[in-house]
Amino acid sequence: MLNIVLFGPPGAGKGTQSERLIEKYNLIHLSTGDIFRANIKGATELGNLAKSFMDKGALVPDEVTIKMLESEVNKHPEAKGFIFDGFPRTEAQADALDTFLAGRDTSITKMLALEVEESELRDRLAKRAETSGRPDDANPEVIQKRIDVYNAETAPVADYYRRQDKFHAVNGLGSIDAITQRLYNAID
Ligand code: ADP
């Protein structure tokens, strides 16, 4: 299996690039943010819970997120591999993912980290707010909180994969096509 963690701060382009990667490598795209938003739309219990955290720019608790992610993976027994987008976002999530994948005789192949500076992120998120309809994109305070949470809780996850020799940084600036090509090169 080819299991990729696509990593990077809010607005780095994980969703856009995931769409390109699943096509080329025939992978299943699991975006925890998208799954939470689908649950919010469907007004499920999980959606209501997730919304209370997401609207503030906080992380949904690990226990809830991990359980959800595992059940999503289990829905695809025939998968050739997965792109994990927006997961893991904490070291506890990374640990849980390793254990879970090991139980299925597979593992993370590589973490690809899209690197984009903060001022550019803020610009992109403000621009995305015009079309995304996402409440967490529309409020500069919530954007700042998401960037802060990323720096405090999520950035250390890169070290987790560095220790396993799986970390690969990719420049997230430039045209969408140019960035896709860098990701292809990193995988092949
Ligand atoms: P972005 O990367 O642009 O912040 P996402 O769609 O990945 O957007 O995530 C939106 C929100 O969903 C996060 O701010 C957080 O509240 C919640 N979320 C997504 N993934 C996770 C996760 N792995 N753990 C906890 N919360 C998450």
Residue-wise pLDDT tens digits, 89-126: 999 999 999 999 999 999 999 999 999 999 999 999 99
pLDDT of residue 65: 98
Provide the greatest CA pair distance for the chain: 43
- CB count within 10 Å of CB 66 equals 21
Q: Whose CA is nearest to atom 16 of ligand 1?
A: 54
Asked whether 11 lines ligand 1 (CB < 6 A), one says yes
Mean local confidence (pLDDT), 40-45: 97
56-66 pLDDT, tens digit per residue, is 999 999 999 99
**Domain range summary for the chain, segments of one domain joined by +:** 2-187
**Distance of alpha carbon 172 from its chain centroid, rounded?**
14
How does 44-55 read in b/e, with b if 16+ C-beta sit within 10 Å? eebbebbbebbe
Going by alpha carbons, the residue nearest to atom 15 of ligand 1 is: 59
Radius of gyration (Cα) for the chain, nearest Å? Answer: 16
- pTM for the full model? 0.96
CA distance linking residue 166 with residue 163, whole number of Å: 8
Q: Which fold has domain 2-187?
A: Rossmann fold (3.40.50)
CA of 32 to the centre of ligand 1 (A): 6
- Ligand 1 contacts CB of residue 5 (under 6 A): no
